[in-house]
Amino acid sequence: MEQSLYEKVGGEEAIGKVVDYFYDELVLKDPTVNQFFKDTDMEKQRRHQTKFISFALGGPNQYSGNSMAKAHQGMNIQPEHFDAIVRHLHKALAHFGVSENDIDQALTKVATLRDDIMYK
């Protein structure tokens, strides 16, 4: 039986490290998207993001946050913002040695959320 992306990446603990790097080194330093997190409880955000990405990569469904549309309501996220987040996720996964093939699979799953996130 083939491993899920979740297992290949190393499970929730490894995804947590990816999420920390994603925010600390990429998203929060990027002026095109960091304003969306100005008033965000980042510890809560990291927990939600770790559980969400874990589920999106084939791990257990522990995500209990809002729907993507509701979570992004009122943010008016534009294509350039969504694309920047996707680029940062790609860089974070690559930084931790995830293969390009596996990154492509993960980002394909993220792309399915585009309509639920943008222009809300």
Element (H, E) at 70: helix 68-71
CA distances to 15, 30, 67, 82 from 5, rounded to whole Å, are 11, 27, 22, 22
**Two tokens, residue 46:** 């990291």
Amino acid at 98: V
Does 81 appear as a known binding residue? no
**Which DSSP category does 77 fall into?**
B
Does 72 appear as a known binding residue? yes
Q: Which residues define the annotated binding site for heme?
A: 48, 72
Q: Which residues define the annotated binding site?
A: 48, 72
